[in-house]
A and B are shown apart, each in its own frame.
Chain A
Amino acid sequence: AQSVTQPDIHITVSEGASLELRCNYSYGATPYLFWYVQSPGQGLQLLLKYFSGDTLVQGIKGFEAEFKRSQSSFNLRKPSVHWSDAAEYFCAVQPRTASKLTFGTGTRLQVTL
């Protein structure tokens, strides 16, 4: 069965600092890969996705993620964090033949001024 691991439960960074959130997945074949962001009490907003092709994908709000097949990883990065980026971030995988997402447990990002 597929699984997603986000090893960092909580990360604190200073505004303006760089950010990397880790995501590893376990799946038989390369799935579709997603990063979502969730503000408190809100639904999920898609930041970016990887389906195929270039392994470095750009998303909204200045985020990017790199797919590394050899490491089964899909880490999220941002060069300079803004206070408004404070939220919960979820990595998710989806089979290429069905729209059923499997989520990680999330990483809570706190941004200090």
Chain B
Amino acid sequence: ETGVTQSPTHLIKTRGQQVTLRCSSQSGHNTVSWYQQALGQGPQFIFQYYREEENGRGNFPPRFSGLQFPNYSSELNVNALELDDSALYLCASSRWGDSYEQYFGPGTRLTVT
């Protein structure tokens, strides 16, 4: 059984640029959630995708957007990067209706300079 994978591992971007992070869900999972973890903080829920549509969103501005593909993989896009976007971005997959237990990937470390 393949776990959740994320790419890239690390990324450095400049303020104002755009970034795309990728996530492959665990085999058999059809729901993907994204979390932002700033240094020294707990993860914060960004949004969730199910059946290729956004299904719930946390307190993040519209410049944070996402996609889910037919194979259940997902992308997180962030436009107009700000210094405060520097964080570890975690992807989690789950099976809709199956106790909602989420399995996390190793994360992508984004640094905005």
Contact = CB atoms under 8 A, between A and B. Distances in A.
B35 interface: yes
Given A51-B99, A98-B100, A99-B31, A43 B105 contact: yes
A43 B100 contact: no
A106 B42 CA distance: 6
Contacts of B44: 103
Interface residues of A, number: 23
B55 to A, nearest CB: 8
B58 A100 contact: yes
B56 A100 contact: yes
Contacts of B33: 99-101
A57 to B, nearest CB: 13
Interface in B32-83: 33, 35, 40-45, 48, 56, 58
A3 B99 CA distance: 20
Contacts of B109: 41
B67 to A, nearest CB: 18
A94 B43 contact: no
The list of the 3 closest CB pairs from A to B, nearest first, reads A103-B42, A99-B100, A44-B104
